[in-house]
Amino acid sequence: MALAQQSSPHARKARSTSRLMLWVILAAVPGLLAQTIFFGWGNLINVVWCIVIALAAEAAMLSIRKKPLAFFLKDNTAAVTGLLLGLSLPQFVPLWVSAIAVISAIVMAKQLYGGLGSNPFNPAMVGYALVLISFPVAMTTNWAQPGLLWESAPGFGETLNLLASGQQTVVDGYSMATPLDEYKHKIATHTAAEVLEHPTFGEGIARGWEWVNAAFLLGGLILIGLKIITWHIPVSMLAAIAVMSLAFGNNPDQYAPVSLHMLAGGTMLGAFFIATDPVSAATSHQGKLIYGAAIGILIYVIRSWGNYPDAVAFSVLLMNFAVPFIDHYTPPRTYGHHKARRGVPGKTQG
């Protein structure tokens, strides 16, 4: 009788990494749906395209690194990276630009650092930042004009055609500046009321964007409910943006109002789906609060006083740098200890 010899615990009931990632993908569906409804087929096509490229790039790198393909591909993490890029890139960004973003995310930011779990930077945001700097025209002029899917915007076939273009600027007629961009550049010379007349803002806060952000918020709450992410990073990040906005930018004739900061741009996607990437985020609760708040502050600073209308990617990447530092100084207090042992061995308190 050959009895199995195992180390305890013998019972396990874990949700596998691939299941967790699948939940992340599913939780992003409402946001993708809202994007499609208000901004046309662009995001959907890009999401599918990015996931395909991500899986292909991952497979290629795994085979070069002589790793078992099926075992790693089924963890769904490459798919999530593709998904996040597809969700965050402008709707009409040409497919070759998104391909470069995805490939640099998977190859450079993830696999060259040692693959899953070893990347210090959020892969999707590395890809995003890379194409934003390399192809500024493609990344700023291709935001779709908001409108209901069935009323306006190019149809599926036409969108696909446009995206296949080799140019950086795909189309003029269907694109429009994003609300954050519009506000940032017009407010210097106009009053808030004049700025808000622009059709990108619509009737509410930011046409389409408000629904997209609400849908990502919903997805994020689902992830928290399922205990796939904790509340610390999104809450501290959103709170930091709100506090910054109320403290420094409470004059709408000078700065975008807090409602715009919260519900336009990539705020909710960033707060719940991007900043919460566990691999590149801080680990302890306290660390997560600091990490999230710092991202929120950076987003507000770059949006208000920097060159870019939105800043999720840069803020997340900048804070990725700080994660090891934050982790060193924010361990939890262990049971039976008076206080947490901060810092590195040898130079400690407590």
Cβ at position 160, least distance to another protein in Å: 34
User: Exactly one of 157, 336, 339, 349 binds another protein (CB under 8 A); which one?
Assistant: 336
Asked if residues 104 and 313 have their Cβ atoms less than 8 Å apart, the reply is: no
Print the binding letters for residues 224-263 with another protein: x by CB under 8 A, - otherwise.
---xx-x---------------------------------
- Cα(68)–Cα(59) distance, rounded to whole angstroms? 9
Q: Which is nearer to another protein, 156 or 325 (CB)?
A: 325
Asked if residues 287 and 280 have their Cβ atoms less than 8 Å apart, the reply is: no
DSSP 112: G
Token duo for residue 165: 């273009």
Asked whether position 5 contacts another protein by CB under 8 A, the answer is: yes
Asked whether position 75 contacts another protein by CB under 8 A, the answer is: yes
Asked whether position 105 contacts another protein by CB under 8 A, the answer is: no
User: Exactly one of 52, 56, 116, 243 binds another protein (CB under 8 A); which one?
Assistant: 116
User: Exactly one of 203, 247, 335, 339 binds another protein (CB under 8 A); which one?
Assistant: 335
Asked whether position 13 contacts another protein by CB under 8 A, the answer is: yes
Instruction: Determine the interface stretch with another protein among 7-15, 134-142, 236-244, 296-304 (rule: CB under 8 A).
Output: 7-15
User: Exactly one of 169, 278, 286, 322 binds another protein (CB under 8 A); which one?
Assistant: 278
Instruction: Determine the interface stretch with another protein among 27-35, 176-184, 186-194, 342-350 (rule: CB under 8 A).
Output: 342-350
In single-letter form, the type of residue at position 289 comes to: L
Instruction: Determine the interface stretch with another protein among 12-20, 95-103, 142-150, 188-196 (rule: CB under 8 A).
Output: 12-20
Report the interhelical angle of 285-305 vs 232-248 (nearest 10°).
40
Asked if residues 146 and 210 have their Cβ atoms less than 8 Å apart, the reply is: no
Cβ at position 49, least distance to another protein in Å: 25
Q: Which is nearer to another protein, 5 or 307 (CB)?
A: 5
10 Å CB burial of residue 322 (0-12, 13-18, 19+) is middle
DSSP 172: S
Token duo for residue 43: 């995001």
- Cα(343)–Cα(309) distance, rounded to whole angstroms? 37
Asked whether position 264 contacts another protein by CB under 8 A, the answer is: no
Cβ at position 58, least distance to another protein in Å: 13
Q: Which is nearer to another protein, 202 or 331 (CB)?
A: 331
Give strand pairing partners of 144: 175
- Cα(111)–Cα(98) distance, rounded to whole angstroms? 18
Give strand pairing partners of 175: 144
The runs of H, that is alpha helices, within the chain are 17-27, 29-39, 42-64, 69-73, 77-88, 95-103, 123-134, 136-140, 156-163, 179-186, 192-195, 209-225, 232-248, 258-263, 267-269, 285-305, 312-329
Instruction: Determine the interface stretch with another protein among 113-121, 127-135, 191-199, 257-265 (rule: CB under 8 A).
Output: 113-121
Asked whether position 169 contacts another protein by CB under 8 A, the answer is: no
> Footprint of another protein on this chain (CB under 8 A)?
1, 3-17, 19-20, 71, 75, 77, 115-118, 227-228, 230, 278-279, 281, 283-284, 327, 331-337, 341, 344-345, 348
